[in-house]
């Protein structure tokens, strides 16, 4: 059920910005697989899926740093070496178990049919983002894809959001970010852009309502109910 928290809705949203991990796609199984591959290679115990889920959202380097820190904080050199193994493994296993969330594809089709511009905006590196979108046949829905290394700063900095609005020559008030975590709400607030959060994503033990988004969605299809 859609929970509307902001009286300014429905949102015009000529541009809809969508987070990737935990919003469009459940990537946690393959991220956990890659992280645990590295941990096992180092002779460490693998981490539980629920633990890895809590590390998602700040890019894979930070995910790997936190996974290693479960037992011992890594040096930068140790993290660099771990990232080589992580990147090689994850790049070869991007979609072994990852799946598009229910309602996502149909919602993207509907948004595109309505003439809205769509942006995928993620902290995941481009080397992983583009193959995932392409192999799941989602890439062509987006007029712009901004990965974690596309710009000098990433979420929670507002730069990617402001860049997307400027790219389509729209004011931030005519854009809407859809995400699942504090990074998304912080970036949106800093950009003064409306933001909706999905309940099924990666936000740890913190309910998305505690992030004070403008709307809460249980299913991506509910996004259509809050747009003008």
CA 113 – CA 119 distance, rounded (Å): 15
85 annotated to a ligand binding site: no
Q: Do the strands 144-146 and 175-179 form a parallel or antiparallel pair, or are they unpaired?
A: unpaired
180 annotated to a ligand binding site: yes
19 is catalytic: yes
Contacts of 32 (CB under 8 A, 6+ apart): 47, 49, 52, 53
CA 59 – CA 65 distance, rounded (Å): 10
CA 195 – CA 93 distance, rounded (Å): 31
List the catalytic residue out of 19, 26, 184, 214.
19
142 touches 126 (CB < 8 A): no
218 annotated to a ligand binding site: no
Q: How far is CA 181 from CA 75, 78, 88, 116, 178, in A?
A: 27, 28, 27, 23, 10
Residues designated catalytic: 19
Tell me the binding residues.
19, 21, 180
Tell me the binding residues for Mg(2+).
19, 21, 180
């Amino acid at each position: 059920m859609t929970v509307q928290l902001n009286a300014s809705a429905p949102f015009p949203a000529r541009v809809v910005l969508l987070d990737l991990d935990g919003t469009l796609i459940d990537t946690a199984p393959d991220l956990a697989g890659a992280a645990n591959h590295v941990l096992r290679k180092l002779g460490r115990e693998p981490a539980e899926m629920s633990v890895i889920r809590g590390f998602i959202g700040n890019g894979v380097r930070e995910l790997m740093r936190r996974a290693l820190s479960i037992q011992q904080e890594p040096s930068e050199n140790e993290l660099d070496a771990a990232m080589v193994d992580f990147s090689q493994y994850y790049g070869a296993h991007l979609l072994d178990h990852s799946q598009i969330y229910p309602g996502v594809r149909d919602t993207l089709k509907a948004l595109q049919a309505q003439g809205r511009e769509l942006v995928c905006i993620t902290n995941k590196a481009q080397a992983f983002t583009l193959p995932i979108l392409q192999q799941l046949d989602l890439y062509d829905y987006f007029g712009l894809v901004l990965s974690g290394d596309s710009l000098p700063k990433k979420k929670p900095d507002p730069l990617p959001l402001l860049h997307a609005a400027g790219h389509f020559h729209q004011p931030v008030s005519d854009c809407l970010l859809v995400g699942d975590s504090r990074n998304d709400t912080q970036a949106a607030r800093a950009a003064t852009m409306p933001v909706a959060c999905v309940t099924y994503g990666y936000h740890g033990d913190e309910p998305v309502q505690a992030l004070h988004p403008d709307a809460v969605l249980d299913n991506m299809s509910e996004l259509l109910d809050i747009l003008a």
